[in-house]
């Protein structure tokens, strides 16, 4: 509730990435790397994917021939980009379409102000508009901030595999 009020009262704006902006594409790729470092540690986080691979991954999401996806950016009142969220439409093993929410990131100085929650609600609204009945998000089983964030917004752990968990939510 407090976070909801903080988000409503602040000047944060959510918009889609500019697909023609190399600066925004590079920023999101760099923050995807920062996310890996925060979750997996410096060594594993930097060695898992090269910057080229991460840049390619951002561009893949922006190519409508390859993916139905959105990259949302959240800005502060000076139009500085302080976070992002990436989601796409995917299909499960039974060929059913669902919303796959792949990542969310907020720069450290802006954390604990409800911004990730605002992005989560934005992603959820997009997936509802796309008539998805389910959203899934995969994370590490020890990523308590992320798990708390999703559980507080109606998600539950529905699958475990190794050290990973899948959080999901059915949309009515
Ligand atoms: C996880 C992350 C996105 C949360 O962003 P945030 O803007 O700080 O989150 P919010 O302020 O919207 O928090 C909403 C809820 O998330 C949970 N949460 C957020 N930060 C938390 C923390 N440090 N400890 C415990 N719970 C936390 C809480 O349930 C919180 O609600 P509450 O404050 O009412 O308890 C942010 O810490 C981050 O960018 N981390 C690095 C990137 C990352 O790990 N991304 C996910 C990869 S799988």
Please report which confidence band the pLDDT of residue 10 belongs to, taking 50, 70 and 90 as the band edges.
low
Q: How far is the CA of 32 from the centre of ligand 1 (A)?
A: 16
pLDDT at 2: 44
pLDDT higher than threshold 70 for residue 45: yes
Ligand 1 site, residue 142, Cβ cutoff 6 A:
no
pLDDT higher than threshold 80 for residue 145: yes
Select from 116, 118, 138, 141 the residue to mutate for testing ligand 1; criterion: most ligand atoms less than 8 Å from CB.
116
User: According to DSSP H, which parts of 82-169 are helical?
Assistant: 115-129, 144-151
Please report which confidence band the pLDDT of residue 11 belongs to, taking 50, 70 and 90 as the band edges.
confident
Q: In the predicted model, what is the mean pLDDT of residues 13-33?
A: 98
Ligand 1 site, residue 84, Cβ cutoff 6 A:
no
Helix axes of 22-40 and 51-62: crossing angle, nearest 10 degrees = 120
How would you list the strands of the sheet with 156-161, edge to edge?
A: 13-16, 69-75, 81-91, 97-106, 134-140, 164-170, 156-161
What pTM, to 2 d.p., does this model score?
A: 0.93
């Amino acid at each position: 509730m407090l976070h909801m009020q903080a988000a409503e009262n602040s000047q944060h704006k959510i918009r889609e990435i500019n697909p023609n902006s190399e600066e925004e594409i590079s920023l999101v790729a760099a923050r995807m790397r920062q996310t890996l470092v925060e979750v997996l540690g410096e060594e594993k986080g930097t060695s898992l994917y090269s910057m080229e691979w991460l840049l390619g991954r951002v561009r893949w999401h922006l190519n409508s021939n390859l993916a139905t996806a959105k990259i949302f950016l959240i800005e502060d009142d000076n139009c500085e980009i302080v976070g992002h969220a990436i989601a796409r439409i995917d299909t499960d093993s039974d060929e059913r379409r669902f919303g796959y929410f792949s990542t969310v990131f907020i720069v450290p100085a802006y954390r604990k102000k409800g911004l990730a929650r605002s992005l989560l609600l934005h992603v959820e609204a997009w997936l509802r508009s796309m008539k998805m009945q389910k959203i899934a998000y995969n994370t590490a089983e020890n990523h308590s901030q992320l798990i708390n964030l999703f559980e507080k917004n109606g998600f539950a752990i529905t699958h475990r595999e190794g050290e990973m968990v899948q959080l999901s939510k059915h949309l009515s």
